[in-house]
Amino acid sequence: MEITADLKNEFLTNSKAIEKVEVLYKKKQKFSGELQMVREDPFEIRIFDQDQDEDEAEHIVFFGRAVEITLNYFDGTVKVFKDMV
C-alpha cells in the first residue's frame, strides 16, 4: 500500500495516542499489537504482537505488501488506511 501523507502524519504526530496497530496483508495474514517504534526517514513502523511467538513478536510493517492498516486510539477512535482498488 502507498505511504500517504495522512498515514505518515498519524504515526509521526499521534504516536503516543495510538493504542494498537493492526496490519492486514495479502492472503489474510494479520499482525496486531502495540506501536513499538516509528522512524521518520526512512519511514518505518514496528509493532509488538503479543499473539506471535516470542522470537516473531516484533514486526516491521511491510507497506508494499500491506492492504490495510488500522489505528486504534486510546480515546476509542479508529482510523483505517487502505489503498483504493
Query: Is residue 56 very low, low, confident or very high in pLDDT (cuts 50, 70, 90)?
Result: confident
Say what the pLDDT of residue 36 is.
93
Query: Is residue 84 very low, low, confident or very high in pLDDT (cuts 50, 70, 90)?
Result: confident
* Average pLDDT rounded to a whole number, residues 12-36: 93
pTM: 0.89
Q: Identify the CATH assignment for 5-82 out of 1.20.140, 3.30.1360, 2.30.30, 3.30.200.
A: 2.30.30
- Own/partner pairs for 75-79, CB < 8 Å, 24+ apart? 75/17, 79/10
| pLDDT surpasses 70 at 85 | no
Q: What is the DSSP string of 4-30?
A: -HHHHHHHHHHGGGEEEEEEEEGGG-E
Which DSSP state fits 76?
S
Q: Where are the domains of the chain?
A: 5-82
| Position 67, amino acid | V
| pLDDT surpasses 80 at 55 | no
- Cα distances (angstroms) measured from residue 76 to each of 16, 19, 20, 59: 14, 9, 11, 24
Nearest to 33 by CA among 23, 19, 48, 44: 48
